[in-house]
């Protein structure tokens, strides 16, 4: 199973500029060390917005959502986690404020794939403004290149046969994006 971490484009660019090791972002402690509270919230938001129909079929799955992982870890009584509890509290306060500021801006996302290794890929999300009369079709068509990259990399890892990849919803969406 290949794990996907979805990052907003701004956070991804910041990580690259800061020399953050992307392959270590599966470790929540490493992510906390290199991220601001707002980065963690933005990462969590884009992970929750990532279209689940891209990962149906069992070959891909999302990593843990950072804000959830932090909350769970902060509640662990076996850890000396005062800092984690403070971080969790700061995140919850920012989320409460953010929920009051919800904007009615229509947008959709375009994704770019960065395979890190055969079991971990980073997906970078770029938000684009647009009227969404048919949001699923718009997202699928906007992400034809991303879908193609996912399929190619699923096969190239050697972990999956063409037949197993062709049986996924990802493959069907790719065909749909090509108008077939």
pLDDT digits 0-9 by tens, 110-136: 999 999 998 999 999 998 776 656 677
Q: Are 162 and 59 in contact (CB under 8 A)?
A: no
Identify the three-state secondary structure at position 135.
Answer: helix
Which residues are CB-neighbours of 178 under 8 A, at least 6 positions away?
Answer: 144
Could you give the C-alpha distances from 53 to 16, 50, 144, 154, 171, in angstroms and in order?
28, 9, 14, 16, 11
Quote the pLDDT of residue 125.
94
Q: What is the pLDDT of residues 158-175, one digit of tens each?
A: 778 888 888 888 898 899
Give the Cβ contact number of residue 110 at 10 Å.
Answer: 16
125: enclosing H helix or E strand:
strand 120-129
Quote the pLDDT of residue 145.
92
User: Would you tell me the crossing angle of helices 37-49 and 9-18 to the nearest 10 degrees?
Assistant: 130
Identify the three-state secondary structure at position 159.
Answer: coil
Mean of pLDDT over the chain? 87
CA dist., res. 21 & res. 172, Å (int): 33
Quote the pLDDT of residue 132.
58
Quote the pLDDT of residue 102.
59
Residue ranges in the chain modelled with pLDDT below 50? none
CB neighbour burial string for 23-58, b if at least 16 within 10 angstroms, e if fewer? eebeebeebbebbebebbbbbbbbbeebbeebbebe
Which residues are CB-neighbours of 29 under 8 A, at least 6 positions away?
Answer: none
CA dist., res. 124 & res. 118, Å (int): 17
């Amino acid at each position: 199973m290949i794990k996907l971490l979805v990052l907003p484009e701004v956070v991804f660019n910041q990580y690259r500029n800061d020399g953050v090791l992307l392959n270590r972002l599966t470790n929540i402690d490493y992510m906390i060390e290199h991220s601001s509270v707002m980065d963690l919230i933005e990462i969590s938001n884009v992970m929750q917005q990532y279209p689940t129909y891209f990962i149906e079929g069992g070959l891909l799955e999302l990593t843990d959502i950072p804000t959830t992982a932090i909350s769970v870890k902060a509640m662990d009584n076996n850890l000396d986690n005062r800092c984690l509890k403070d971080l969790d509290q700061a995140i919850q306060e920012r989320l409460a404020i953010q929920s009051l500021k919800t904007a009615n801006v229509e947008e959709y996302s375009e994704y770019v794939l960065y395979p890190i290794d055969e079991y971990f890929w980073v997906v970078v999300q770029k938000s684009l403004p647009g009227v969404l009369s048919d949001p699923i079709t718009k997202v699928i068509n906007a992400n034809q290149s991303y879908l193609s990259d996912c399929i190619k990399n699923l096969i190239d890892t050697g972990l999956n046969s063409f037949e197993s990849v062709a049986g996924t919803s990802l493959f069907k969406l790719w065909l749909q994006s090509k108008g077939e």
